[in-house]
């Protein structure tokens, strides 16, 4: 694949381009508007840690995904609905060992439907569906990719903001974002907010920080017969946008704590259950330029 010099930069870097004028308000534009032929290097890592009693918390695992992505087709909003992922590498680390899900140099075609569901195809004609278990792992990982979550919409203040300014986040969008993480929010905590700053060590880097506290929640998949006595969570992160750069990085942590009892009919006494969990996401995206796309 041959990349031409970059002639136009998607909205991925619009906010960073504005950083050269310190006195002016910045437009927060975090959702890229891709075109067919755009190419970028993607690095995405998730780390899940769980501690539970009488609750199916899932496995502690670290996943790291790297690929060169070529956009093949976009929708009316510039979101990629078809991509080619090349030089794919997906490694995992868990208590039982570590390994890789793809051979060296692997590639496939990714297709997204209107609801964001991912399907993977391989073969010369991209007509062979990948193994469903592998597809499930990849799809679950790519669900954390910033531009395919509700986060860009949540952080958009609807107006330019100045460095040092904070703004409230829409509660409905906050609930939607947490719903994408498998949480049913019953009550939000103190108002969710975001802010815009400059990196004190590198003033050419703009930083968007955000925090969403939750006072009461349940899991979409609760333990059978479980009753929650106490729960809380918070989602927080930052997005770094260097001025004039084709790069962007995002770090996010979702931490939750829940406890209660499991009450089964005809069984006494009730047994306690507890869950403490955190999931960290680290993403780095580097635009590579444009390439000629065949087969459109």
pLDDT at 7 over 60: no
2-18 mean pLDDT: 43
Strand partners, 183: 219
3-state secondary structure of 134: helix
Question: Quick one: pLDDT at residue 261?
Answer: 87
| Domain presence at residue 242 | yes
C-alpha closest to that of 212 among 241, 183, 244, 245: 183
- For residues 145 and 16, which has the higher predicted lDDT (pLDDT)? 145
How far apart are alpha carbons 92 and 127 in whole angstroms? Answer: 27
Question: Quick one: pLDDT at residue 107?
Answer: 93
Question: Quick one: pLDDT at residue 272?
Answer: 86
258-281 mean pLDDT: 84
pLDDT at 27 over 90: no
Residue % of the chain over a pLDDT of 90: 57
Question: Quick one: pLDDT at residue 292?
Answer: 55
Q: Is 40 exposed, middle or buried (0-12, 13-18, 19+ CB in 10 A)?
A: buried
Strand partners, 156: none
Helix H segments across the chain?
14-17, 132-142, 151-155, 171-180
Question: Quick one: pLDDT at residue 225?
Answer: 79
Q: Are 85 and 121 in contact (CB under 8 A)?
A: no
Residue 58's pLDDT band (cuts 50, 70, 90): low
3-state secondary structure of 153: helix
Residue at token pair 């002639």: 7
How far apart are alpha carbons 145 and 32 in whole angstroms? Answer: 12
| Domain presence at residue 21 | yes
Q: Are 117 and 135 in contact (CB under 8 A)?
A: no
pLDDT at 4 over 80: no
Distances (CA, A) of 198 to 171, 201, 269: 26, 9, 55
| Domain presence at residue 57 | yes
C-alpha closest to that of 175 among 189, 164, 162, 165: 189
| Domain presence at residue 5 | no
Q: Are 178 and 235 in contact (CB under 8 A)?
A: yes
Total tally of structural domains belonging to the chain:
1
pLDDT at 256 over 90: yes
Q: Are 128 and 121 in contact (CB under 8 A)?
A: yes
pLDDT at 189 over 90: yes
| Domain presence at residue 37 | yes
pLDDT at 5 over 80: no
Residue 55's pLDDT band (cuts 50, 70, 90): low
Residue at token pair 């569901």: 117
Residue 162, both tokens: 């100045």
Lowest mean pLDDT among 8-22, 149-163, 242-256: 8-22
How far apart are alpha carbons 289 and 285 in whole angstroms? Answer: 12
How far apart are alpha carbons 220 and 212 in whole angstroms? Answer: 18
Question: Quick one: pLDDT at residue 123?
Answer: 83
Q: Which domain holds residue 84?
A: 11-290
How far apart are alpha carbons 7 and 287 in whole angstroms? Answer: 12
Residue 17's pLDDT band (cuts 50, 70, 90): very low
Distances (CA, A) of 18 to 23, 191, 194, 219, 240: 10, 28, 19, 40, 14
Residue 11's pLDDT band (cuts 50, 70, 90): very low
- For residues 269 and 140, which has the higher predicted lDDT (pLDDT)? 140
Taking CA 33 as the corner, what is the angle to CA 129 and CA 44, rounded to the nearest 5 degrees?
Answer: 55
| Domain presence at residue 203 | yes
| Domain presence at residue 6 | no
103-125 mean pLDDT: 89
Strand partners, 168: 193
Lowest mean pLDDT among 24-38, 183-197, 204-218, 229-243: 24-38
Question: Quick one: pLDDT at residue 266?
Answer: 62
3-state secondary structure of 175: helix
User: How much is the mean pLDDT over the chain?
Assistant: 86
Residue 57's pLDDT band (cuts 50, 70, 90): low
| Domain presence at residue 221 | yes
Residue 13's pLDDT band (cuts 50, 70, 90): very low
167-176 mean pLDDT: 96
């Amino acid at each position: 694949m041959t990349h031409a010099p970059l002639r136009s930069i998607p909205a991925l870097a619009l906010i960073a381009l504005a950083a050269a004028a310190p006195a002016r308000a910045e437009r927060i534009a975090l959702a890229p508007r891709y075109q067919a032929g755009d190419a970028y290097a993607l690095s995405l890592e998730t780390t899940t840690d769980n501690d539970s009693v009488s609750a199916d918390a899932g496995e502690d695992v670290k996943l790291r995904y790297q690929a060169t992505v070529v956009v093949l087709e976009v929708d009316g909003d510039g979101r990629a609905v078809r991509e080619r992922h090349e030089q794919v590498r997906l490694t995992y680390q868990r208590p039982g060992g570590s390994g890789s899900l793809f051979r060296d140099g692997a590639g496939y075609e990714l297709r997204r439907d209107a609801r964001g569901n991912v399907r993977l195809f391989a073969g010369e004609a991209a007509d062979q569906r990948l193994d469903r278990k592998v597809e499930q792992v990849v799809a679950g990982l790519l669900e954390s990719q910033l531009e395919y979550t509700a986060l860009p919409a949540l952080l958009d203040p609807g107006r330019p903001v100045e460095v040092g300014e904070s703004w409230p986040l829409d509660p409905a969008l906050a609930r939607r974002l947490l719903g994408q993480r498998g949480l049913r929010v019953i009550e939000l905590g103190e108002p969710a907010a975001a802010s815009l700053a400059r990196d004190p060590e590198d003033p050419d880097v703009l930083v968007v920080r955000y925090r969403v506290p939750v006072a009461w929640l349940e899991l979409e998949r609760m333990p059978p017969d479980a009753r929650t006595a106490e729960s809380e969570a918070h989602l927080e992160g930052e997005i770094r946008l260097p001025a004039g750069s084709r790069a962007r990085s995002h770090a996010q942590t979702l931490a939750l704590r829940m406890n209660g009892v499991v009450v089964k009919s005809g069984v006494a006494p009730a047994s306690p259950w507890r869950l403490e969990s955190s999931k960290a996401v680290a993403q780095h995206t580097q635009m590579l330029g444009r390439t000629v796309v065949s087969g459109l």
